[in-house]
Structure 1
Amino acid sequence: MVAPVLETAHVFCCPNRVRGALSWSPGPGGLLAFGTSCSVVLYDPQKRIVITNLNGHTARVNCVQWICKQDGSPSTELVSGGSDNHVIHWELENNQLLKAVHLQGHVAPVYSVCAAYQERASDVTLQTLIVSAASDSIVLIWSKKASEVPVLACGDDDCRIQLFVQQDGQFRNVLFLRGHEDWIRGVEWTIFGRDLLLASCSQDCLIRIWRLCIKSTSLETQEDDIIRLKENTFTVESKSIKIEFAVTLETVLAGHENWVNAVHWQPSFYKDGVLQHPMRLLSASMDKTMILWAPDEESGVWLEQKEWTPEIVISGHFDGVQDLMWDPEGEFIITVGTDQTTRLFAPWKRKDQSQVTWHEIARPQIHGYDLKCLAMINRFQFVSGADEKVLRVFSAPRNFVENFCAITGQSLNHILCNQDGDLPEGAAVPALGLSNKAVFQGDITQPSDEDELLTSTGFEYHQLAFQPSVLTEPPTEDHLLQNTLWPEVQKVYGHGYEIFCVACSNSKTLLASACKAAKKEHAAIILWNTTSWKQVQNLVFHSLTVTQMAFSPNDKFLLAVSRDRTWSLWKRQDTALPEQEPIFTLFAFTNQVTAVHSRIIWSCDWSPDGKHFFTGSRDRKVVVWGECDSNNEFMEHSIGPCSSVLDVGGSVTAVSVCPVLDPSQRYIVAVGLECGKICLYSWKKTNQIPEINDWTQCVETSQSQSHTLAIKKLCWKNCNGKNEQNESESAEWLYFASCGEDHTVKIYKVNRCAL
C-alpha cells in the first residue's frame, strides 16, 4: 500500500452563527454535520475529530439536515442550503462523499431545509423528499419520483403556522395555526403512535406542541359539561376517499427568557411497534440556555429534565482567520481573526489513550476590533495588530501555564523556570475596556450572585471576575470566554492607520510592523525594541501597504513585499557600541523596470539556509530570488530571479518554505491560493539559463482537504520541536498549518519520504 503524501491531521472550526447550521445523525456512531463558512463539516463527537469536509457551496451554509431512517440506522444522506441560493443533496459512502447534486430553483439565500424518506407501497422502496425555504418567500419540494406529502408545516413572520397538503399535484393551504404572538423561528414534526406531534417555537419566548390525528381517533366525549380542546379540522381527498384530520394544541412550554430559536425532537424509531426512545424535546434560546423537555409518565405534564454538563467538542473562529504562528517549540498554534479573538490550539495528550487530538485551550485576547496579524516574541508572549492602529503585547499567566502543562503533558517545572519574574494568576477585562488587566493572587475574590446575572438584553457577555481553575482536559466554551485571557503587558503606538502585518526577528529582539497605506509616508515599516518597546527606526520605501515581512534566518536581512508590486530588502548594520540599536539600510529592491510580478505581492518567505527568498503574487506567479557569493552573502544591488517563473494557475495569497529539504535536497514550498487550494512544490537551483525543470509539483490538496475561500497564512512547524505522536515518526512526517477566510485552521502532515 502506497503511503499518502498529504493528510489532514486536525481541523479547527465552529458552526456558522445561523439557526439551522447543525444536525446530528442518529444511531450509534452518528456524526455531527454543520456549516462552517461555505463548507459542510462532518465531525465525530466520540473520537473528537473532523472526518471530512463537503465542499460545494460558494457562499455561507445556512442550514443542514441529515435524512434519518425510521429504523434508526446511520444516515448516509444529508441536505444543505446556502446563501448561494443552492440546495445540495449529499450522498455518502463510508463517511466520504459519494455524490453531490445541486438543486437550483431559489433566487435568494436558502435558510431552511427539511428532508425525509417516504416509503412507496408500490415498490417498497424509500424515496428522498426534500423541502427548502428561502428569503425569496418560496417553498420548494424536491423528489426523485412522484411522492405524496401528507402535511407540510411552515412557520411565518406573521405569527401563524401554515399547514399544506398535496392534492391533484398541487399544494393547498388547509389550515392556519394561531397562538404565537411573534415570528415563528422553528417547527418540527415527530411521529407518536398513530398521531403526529408538531413543535413550534417563536420570538414570543414560548414553545407550542400541536397534535394532528385522524378525526375519528381524536379525543371526543358525549358529555357536554366536560371541557374539550378546541379542534381545527381539515379534509384530505385521496383516491375517492375523504379523510378528516383534527389539530389540537397539546401544551404550551414556558421556560426561556428570550427568543426560542430552535426545537428538535429526540430521534426515535419503532421496532416491533414499540417506541425505542422516550419522547423528549430540545429547545435553544437567545437567553443562552437549552432546555430538555419530556412529559411526566403519570400526569403527562411536560417538565424540564435534569441539568446536563457540556462535553468537549470542536471549536474555532466564526469569521475569517487572518494569521497564525507555531510556538518556537512546535507545541501549539496561536491564531487571530476578524471575529475579534485570539485563540490558542494545542494537543490533548490523554494517559489512557494513544490518540492525540487538538483543541482550543485558551482565548488570550477578546477584542473590540478586527484582528489582522500576530507575531510570537517568545514561547509565552505574543504581539497582535488590529484595525485600531495599536500593537498590543500579551504574556501568559501562571494559571494558563499550569493548565497547558496538564493538558499537553509538559513539565511544569521546566517551563516555569524559564519564565522571568512573578507571573500573574490570570487576566480580566474591565467594563467598557479593551485591555486585559493582570489579576494577581491577592486580587482574586469569590463571585457574588449578582455577578452571574445576564445583561438585560441577553445579547452580550456580562463581565465576570477571573477565577483560577485546575484543568486536565480542554476547557468548555464558558471557561474559554472567562478564564483564559492573557494579561496585556504593553501597548505600542506609532502607526497612523490600521495595523496590517508584523514580523519578529529570530533573535526575538526586534519587531517590524506596518499598517494600511495609500501614501509613501504611511507605508513606512517601523522597527521596535522588544525589551523597551521603543521605536528603533522607520524604513521608508514602499508607496502602498506592506503586505508581509520576514527576517532572514540569521537576522541580517529584513524582506518586505507590498501592494505596490515590489519588494524591498533591508540589511542590518551593526553599530560600534553594543548598547546601540542596529541600523537597517536599503540593500536591494525591485521597481517597474526590474519587477517580475505584475499584481499585488501578497506573501514572502526565506529558504532555511538564507540563500534565497520566495515571493507569491496575485498574478499567479511564485518567484525565487537571490544571488550569493562564495560566502553565501547577498551581493548588493545584484539580486534577481534565480528560478523560472512558476505559474500556479490561481492568485497566490500565501507562501511558506519548509525548514528542511526533501530527500533529493530540494526546497519544499507550500503555496496557498485565493480559491482555497494548497499546492506543494519542490525547487532546486539549476545552472541552466533559462532555468529548466527547476520546479516540481509534489501534491495538492483534494477538494475535501482544501479551504473554500482564500488562504491567509501558511506556516511550517519547527522540525526541532517534539512530534505530537512519537519521536520515531518525526523523521517521516512534516507538519504545516493553514488558515483562511473560510473561518478554518488546519494542520496537515506531509510524508517527506513520498515526495
Structure 2
Amino acid sequence: MTQWFDPHFISLSLQNQVRVGEVGGNTLGFYGCQMSPDGSMILAHAFHGALHLWCKDQDKERGWRPGVVISGHFNAVQDLSWDPEGEFILSVGSDQTTRLFTPWRKQDSKQATWHEISRPQIHGYDMQCLAMVGGFQFVSGADEKVLRVFQAPRNFVENFASISGISKEKLLQSTSLPEGASTPALGLSNKAVFQGKMLSQHSKEEQFSSISDQYQESYFHPLSLTEPPPEDHLLQNTLWPEVQKLYGHGFEMFCLASDSTKTLVASACKASKAEHAAVLLWSTATWRQLQTLPYHTLTVTQMAFSPDAKFLLAVSRDRTWSLWRRKLPTPENPEPSFSLCAHTTKDTAMHSRIIWSCDWSPDSKYFVTSSRDKKVIVWGPCMLENSEEPVFPLEIKPCSSILDVGDSATAVAFCPSLCSDRSYLLAVGLECGQILLYRWRPGQVGDVCWIFVCILSVVSLHQKSFQRQSHTLAVKRLRWSDTERKLEEKSSWVQLASASADHSVKIFNINKQAL
C-alpha cells in the first residue's frame, strides 16, 4: 500500500549556528563564499573585490576568528610614496582609497610578507596623488579642487609598533595625538576621535533613533593588533584624522611633490590653460600658500624636488619642462621661494609627446625625463655659480644619448645610491607594464652611455622557467626606497616599488652588486 504525504504538512527546522562576516563601512556586502574541504576555513569575496577569511578556532566549539588575507586596490593605482625610514608604503588609487602596506613576519616564519595594515583615507572621489611630509603625515589629492592633510592617530602608531617590532616610544613623538578617526555621515573629512570621547553602543543607539538618520557615522573602535587587520577593521577602524584642507586650485588635483626637508609641498591640477597650469607651493609648518609658479600652458604631469632641496623640476603635457631654483632667504623674505632658472620651449623641446615622468640623480647634478614618444633623456649638469642669482638663465642640455625604450615611458626613477662602478641606476616603467633597469654614465651626446641591465619580472612558483611582465597594464609610478636594506649578508640591496593601472603595487628587492 502506497502512503502519500501532503507537502503542506512537512516542515524543516533550520537553526543559525554561526554568523561570520559582519561588514561595516563603505561596502555592499558579499558576492560569494567557499568553505574548505575539511570545514576549517571560510573564504568570501565582497563587492569591491576584498577577500575575507575565517578560521575555526579549535579551542572553542563554535568559535571562528578572522584570518590574514591578501588585500589591495580594486582599481588603478595612481601614485605611491615610501615613508622617510623605508618602513612602509602609502598608495592611492582610482578606487577612492589611500592604503598603507608594511612587511610582517609570522612567528613561525623567517620571511616577511607585505600586507595592508591601515586604510587612512576612504574618499568620495578617485584619488590621484600623494606626498609624505613626515614619518606619519601625508598630503593627498583627488578629483576635487582640495588638498587634504592627514596625521596618524595614536592607535595606528601603537599597532604599527607591535606589527613591525619598532619601539613604540621611538615612534610616538607627540602625546597629544587623537586615538583614531571616524567618518561623518555623508562627509568626506575624517574627524579625530580622542580618548574618553568614544561613544558607547547605548549612546550611539540613542543618538540615531530618528528615522531621518539613514546615514550613520562610521564609528571608530580601538584595535590591539599583532597581525594585519581583516577587511572589516580596515574599512572602519584604521582611518587617519584629517588635520588640514588646502584650497587654491581651480580644477581637479593631478600631482604632488615634497622636498627632502619635508618643509615644502608643490601641487598642480588639471589644466587646459596657462592660468590653471601654475604650480603652487605650500609650507608644511603653517600650511599657507607661499608662491605661485606660472610657466606651463597645460597640465603639469609630475614634479620632483632635487635631493638637496635647491631645485624644483616640473614636466607637462605641453611637452616642455621647467626648472626652478630656490632663492636664498633674506631678512625681508625669510620664507622659501623659487625662481625660474631654465626651461625648454616648443622650439627647443626634445620630446615630441607628453612628458609623463621625471626624477633627480641622488647627487642633484642631473635629472631625467620620460615621455609618450618612447624617449628617456638625462639633462644637466645643474651646476650654478656661487652668486645669489645667475646673470643669465642656465642653459641645460641633454647630457646623454637619447634612449628609445620602444614603448611609451610612463614612469622613471633614479636609484638613490650609485652602483659599485659609480654609475647611476635608473628604472623605467612602460605603458605595456614592463619595468626596465639601465645603468647610465655621463658622457657626450652620441656616446654609448646607456647599459641595459634587465627587465624586472615575477617568477612563477610552479614553473621557475616561466616569467611574466612586472605588470599587465601601464606603470603609473616608480619609487626607490631611500634606505638601503641588508637583506642578505655582505650584500647591498635596494627596494623599488611600482604602482600600475592593473590595480597592483609591487615591491622588488634588487642587489646592486649583482648588476
TM-score bucket of the superposed structures, by smaller chain = 0.7 to 0.9
1:441 & 1:365 partners in 2: Cα distance? 21
Tell me the residue number matched to 1:224: 3
Partner amino acid for 1:555?
A
Alignment match, 1:121: none
Give the one of 453, 456, 459 matched to 1:698.
Answer: 453
Name the structure 2 match of 1:92: none
Structure 1 residue 592: Cα displacement = 1.6
With over 3 angstroms needed to count, the CA separation of the structure-2 counterparts of 1:699 and 1:251, relative to structure 1, is farther
In structure 1, the residue corresponding to 2:358 is in which secondary structure?
strand
Q: Where do residues 430-445 of structure 1 align in structure 2 (5 Å cutoff)?
A: 430-445=184-199
In 2: Cα distance, 1:541 partner to 1:355 partner: 49
Q: Does 2:477 match 1:713?
A: yes
Q: Give the partner amino acid of 1:691.
A: G
The answer to whether structure 1 residue 735 and structure 2 residue 499 are counterparts is no
Could you say what the CA RMSD is over the residues aligned between the two structures, in angstroms? 3.4
Range 306-315 or range 738-747, more displaced: 306-315
Write the deviation string for residues 695-724 of structure 1: whole angstroms up to 9, x where unpaired: 01100023525111111100001125x55x
User: By percentage of residues, which structure has more strand?
Assistant: 1
Q: SS at the partner of 1:616?
A: strand
Asked if 1:678 corresponds to 2:448, the answer is: no
Q: Report the number of matched residues.
A: 481
TM superposition shift of 1:371: 0.7
Counterparts of 2:35 and 2:322 in 1: how far apart (Å)? 61
Give 3-state SS (helix, strand or coil) of 1:441's partner.
Answer: coil
CA contact (8 A) 1:349 1:409 kept: no
Deviation at 1:353, TM superposition (A): 3.2
The 3 A distance-change label for structure 1 pair 733 and 252 is: farther
In 2, are the aligned partners of 1:510 and 1:530 still within 8 Å (CA)?
yes
Structure 1 distance, partners of 2:266, 2:35, is 55
Matched with 2:170 is 414
Q: Structure 2 CA distance, aligned partners of 1:586 and 1:348? A: 45
SS at match of 2:196: helix
Preserved contact between residue 52 and residue 230 of structure 2 (Cα < 8 Å): no
Query: Following the alignment from structure 1 to structure 2, what is the Cα–Cα distance between the partners of residues 279 and 403?
Result: 28
* 1:429 Cα deviation after fit: 1.0
Deviation at 1:435, TM superposition (A): 0.6
SS in 2 for 1:405: helix
CA contact (8 A) 2:44 2:52 kept: yes
Any idea what the Cα deviations from partners look like across 1:597-646, whole Å, max 9, x if unmatched? 00000000000001100000000000000135597999833101110000
SS at match of 2:162: helix
Give the SS at the match of 1:442.
Answer: coil
1:307: how far off? 5.1
Paired AA for residue 502 in structure 2: D
Q: For 1:550 and 1:523, how far apart are their aligned partners in 2?
A: 16
Aligned partner (choices 545, 556, 574) of residue 328 of structure 2 = 574
Equivalence for 1:518: 272
Using the size of structure 2 for normalisation, the TM-score is: 0.85
**What residue ranges of structure 1 are gaps of 5+ in the alignment?**
1-221, 230-248, 268-276, 293-304, 455-459
Q: Deviations over 1:510-547 (max 9, x none)?
A: 11100000000000001111111111111110000000
Structure 1 match to 2:138: 382
Tell me if 1:356 matches 2:112: yes
Bigger CA drift: 701-710 or 485-494? 701-710
Secondary structure of the residue aligned to 2:161 is helix
Structure 1 contact 627–638 (Cα < 8 Å) conserved = no
Residues 657 and 466 (structure 1), Cα distance of their counterparts in 2 relative to 1, 3 Å cut: same
Equivalent residue in structure 2 for 1:658, among 403, 415, 423: 415
CA gap 1:531/1:371 in 2 versus in 1, 3 angstroms = same
Number of the residue aligned with 2:67: 311
Q: Report the alpha carbon displacement of residue 572 of structure 1 after superposing the two structures with TM.
A: 1.1
Decide whether aligned partners of structure 1 residues 667 and 284 sit closer, same or farther in structure 2, where only a CA change above 3 A counts. closer
- Structure 2 letter corresponding to 1:504: S
Residues 285 and 363 of structure 1: is their aligned pair in 2 closer, same or farther, counting only changes over 3 Å? closer
Is the CA contact 2:186–2:215 (under 8 Å) kept in the aligned structure 1?
A: no
**SS across alignment from 1:413:** helix
1:261: Cα distance to partner? 4.5
Percent identity for Structure 1 against Structure 2: 56
Distance in 2 between residues matched to 1:661 and 1:259, nearest whole Å = 49
Paired residue type of 1:385 = G
Alignment match, 1:748: 508
C-alpha distance after superposition, 1:93-147 (max 9, x if no partner): xxxxxxxxxxxxxxxxxxxxxxxxxxxxxxxxxxxxxxxxxxxxxxxxxxxxxxx
User: Structure 1 252/604 Cα, relative in aligned 2: closer, same or farther at 3 Å?
Assistant: farther
In 1, Cα distance between equivalents of 2:73 and 2:39: 36
Q: Is residue 2:364 matched to residue 1:585?
A: no
- Structure 1 contact 611–632 (Cα < 8 Å) conserved: no
Instruction: Provide the rounded CA distance (Å) in 1 between the counterparts of 2:300 and 2:415.
Output: 23
User: Whole-Å Cα distance in 2 between the matches of residues 388 and 471 of structure 1?
Assistant: 34
1:185-227 CA-to-partner distances (Å, cap 9, x unmatched) read xxxxxxxxxxxxxxxxxxxxxxxxxxxxxxxxxxxxx513345
Query: Counterparts of 1:100-119 in structure 2 under 5 Å?
Result: none
**Residue type at the aligned position of 1:675:** C
Note the residue ranges of structure 2 that are not aligned, 5 or more in a row. Answer: 23-27, 55-60, 209-213, 458-466
Structure number, greater radius of gyration: 1
Q: TM-score of the superposition, structure 1-length normalised? A: 0.59
1:279: how far off?
13
Residue 625 of structure 1 aligns to a residue whose secondary structure is: strand
Letter in 1 for 2:170: H
| SS of corresponding position for 1:697 | strand
CA distance 1:285–1:754, change in 2 (3 Å) = closer
Q: Of residues 382, 388, 403 in structure 1, which corresponds to 2:159?
A: 403
User: Equivalents in 2 of 1:624, 1:289: separation in Å?
Assistant: 43
